[in-house]
Structure 1
Amino acid sequence: MPLTRRDALGLTTTFAATALAGTLIRMPRAAAAAKIEAVVFDAFPIFDPRPIFAGLDKIVPGRGKTLGDLWRTRQFEYTWLRTAAGEYEDFWKITRDALTYAAEALKIDLSAEQADAVMDAYLHLKAWPDARPALDALRQSGLRLGFLSNFTPAMLEAAIESAGLQGYFDQVLSTDLIGTFKPDPNAYRMPTDAFDLPVAKILFVPFAGWDAAGAKWFGYETFWVNRLGTPPEALGVHADGSGRNLDDLAAYLRARA
């Protein structure tokens, strides 16, 4: 449930709160002193993943959502397990392994050709409708833009090309380059090195609540693009701002300028 203005006033930290289209923008006053020079995105605030999972229902009518939910859960559990164990495999393989597990667990006979077709959707992602106008506005304001994603470099490059977003991003960073996954602090350190900026001058924009928590633990000011409307993870940290789309991100940046 989104926080209300009354909720914001009850927080022990002092916040500047602005309600925009049902979105609470929360900004610690201390953070406003640091000028943001770069905005770094996870992949899915920009790329719309819904067609990946919608395609499952064409393969297994009536069971696509169940398969997709288990697949997505295992996908990220495998990244965390492999990171914790030091047994790295790239995100493409982990995603395929998670799909195999989910199909077998649900006793769904998924052929290799069907699995290939499902995986291929990752290489043909399109941007959310609000992405290009928001990116145009951010670039025109002088901000440098980047990605920090668990996607492999090939997955990121394919998605950028498919979405027609070539040239928008100053840095396209895959955690595969250092053999780990978010929320490993070494992954979150990549943008500070690539942009040669202190953490206080970078705003991180995640899609998932766990990624918002990981970014906050590392020290980033964080705006969570919560397109699915899920509650924040109960991990003791919260994003500095949140909204349902990139218009809300732009409003947040205007409010803190």
Structure 2
Amino acid sequence: MTQTGKITTCVFDAYGTLFDVSAAARRAAEAPGQATLAEVWPALSADWRRKQLEYSWLRAVTGDHCSFWQVTQDGLDWAMDRHGLRDAELRETLLGLYWELSAYPEVPKLLATLKAQGLNCAILSNGSPDMLDGAVSSAGLESYLDAVLSVEDVGVFKPARAVYDLVGTRFGTEPGEILFVSSNGWDAGSAAAYGFTTAWVNRAGEPMDRLPGRPQYVLSDLTTIPELL
């Protein structure tokens, strides 16, 4: 794929792209006394993530914005209810672990390589600033990032165009100078329609979303990002 301009800035979605959103449920299930959770944690984690995203989209459509932390809690409550897990202590454990999500193994080396190539690196996320600060700090990524951009600055969740505008406002760039990377097909497609060069990290091998924009690159993980540049 031939790029239309020189890429100066790599922007990453956070949850599911840099940070493993399944880590909270997986770690909780590994604790002693969690036999019930151990049997259902993959489905619980998938339901939690799905409802978290669905609630963000619905709130964007209706204009009922709230923090991403609120939709994270609401999504967990729905998922726990679906799986019959009525345990307040487990709920608090899962929510606490969400602030300490591990980064995917390739992330630190990737970001270090991009910085060595002279690129700006940033996060653009639905996450609230305090959630993102916690995740970045827990994963030790602070030194690699030039900016951590949150939708809270515009009061609407992705894929609203106002969110993607935050990149140009922060870096003084045109859309064609940005490589945007997301594990969410709808996010990568929407960012492509906005004008970014986009890479979809399709870890699960899912079909392409039927949206006006299509990502220019489809990857199985983040390791080959430097080769695109």
Q: Considering the TM-score relative to the shorter chain, is it more than 0.5?
A: yes
Is the contact made by 1:131 and 1:246 (CA closer than 8 Å) also made in structure 2?
Answer: yes
Give 1:234 shift: 1.8
Is the contact made by 1:56 and 1:68 (CA closer than 8 Å) also made in structure 2?
Answer: no
Structure 1 residue aligned with 2:44: 67
Give the one of 16, 37, 50 matched to 2:8.
37
Structure 1 residue aligned with 2:154: 178
Give the one of 183, 193, 207 matched to 1:231.
207
Give 1:60 shift: 2.3
Structure 1 residue aligned with 2:62: 85
Structure 2 residue aligned with 1:97: 74
* Counterpart-to-counterpart distance in 1, 2:195 and 2:42: 35
Q: Percent identity?
A: 35
What 5-or-longer segments of structure 1 have no aligned partner?
1-26
- Larger CA deviation: 180-189 vs 221-230: 221-230
Q: Does 1:187 align with 2:163?
A: yes
Written as runs of structure 1 = structure 2, the 5 A alignment for 1:201-212 is 201-212=177-188
* Counterpart-to-counterpart distance in 1, 2:175 and 2:144: 21
Structure 2 residue aligned with 1:20: none
Pick the structure with more strand per residue.
1
Structure 2 residue aligned with 1:52: 24
Q: What letter corresponds to residue 39 of structure 1 in structure 2?
A: C
* Counterpart-to-counterpart distance in 1, 2:208 and 2:24: 24
What are the superposed Cα offsets for residues 37-94 of structure 1, whole Å, 9 maximum, x if unpaired? 1000001322222312324643523222232222221111100000100001111111
* Counterpart-to-counterpart distance in 2, 1:182 and 1:225: 17
Structure 2 residue aligned with 1:120: 96
Q: What letter corresponds to residue 74 of structure 2 in structure 1?
A: D
Give 1:150 shift: 0.7
Q: What letter corresponds to residue 52 of structure 2 in structure 1?
A: Q
* Counterpart-to-counterpart distance in 2, 1:143 and 1:109: 45
Is the contact made by 1:207 and 1:227 (CA closer than 8 Å) also made in structure 2?
Answer: yes
* Counterpart-to-counterpart distance in 1, 2:26 and 2:61: 31
- Larger CA deviation: 108-117 vs 50-59: 50-59
What are the superposed Cα offsets for residues 184-221 of structure 1, whole Å, 9 maximum, x if unpaired? 11111111111111111111011111111111121111
Written as runs of structure 1 = structure 2, the 5 A alignment for 1:153-168 is 153-168=129-144
Structure 1 residue aligned with 2:126: 150
Aligned pairs, number: 223
